Amino acid sequence: MITSAQMRAARALLGIDQRELAKLAGVSVPTIQRMEASGGNVRGIVESLTRVVDALNRAGVELIGEHARSEDGGRGVRLRHSAAPDKVEP
């Protein structure tokens, strides 16, 4: 599964907008918008979701599931549950 936050973070790491991700995945821009607007895990047509995940993988993004390890190295982002946005110290 991919979360909407992972999709947005993946686009940010790649430096692409929703239009470019839609083009890479072969889906419509409204599909990307709906996926990113969903809370938590992205919901939608499995084929569209698979296309998006495959496009991100081809572009070099490794989507890390909860409690999963990243063995390939490289840069990435992971959000810890204990880090609440309103409690982050400067």
CATH code assigned at 29: 1.10.260.40
Name the pTM for this structure. 0.77
Average pLDDT taken over every residue of the chain: 82
User: Scanning the structure block, which residue is given the tokens 């390939």?
Assistant: 72
How many domains does the chain contain in total? 1
pLDDT of residue 63: 82
Domain that holds residue 29: 1-90
d(CA 31, CA 51): 11
**pLDDT value, residue 78:** 60
Q: How far is CA 76 from CA 12, 14, 46, in A?
A: 11, 11, 25
- Tens of pLDDT, residue by residue over 3-14, are 898 899 999 989
- Cα dihedral 79, 10, 12, 76 sign: positive
Digit-coded pLDDT (tens) for 46-80: 999 999 999 998 998 888 777 777 676 665 566 55
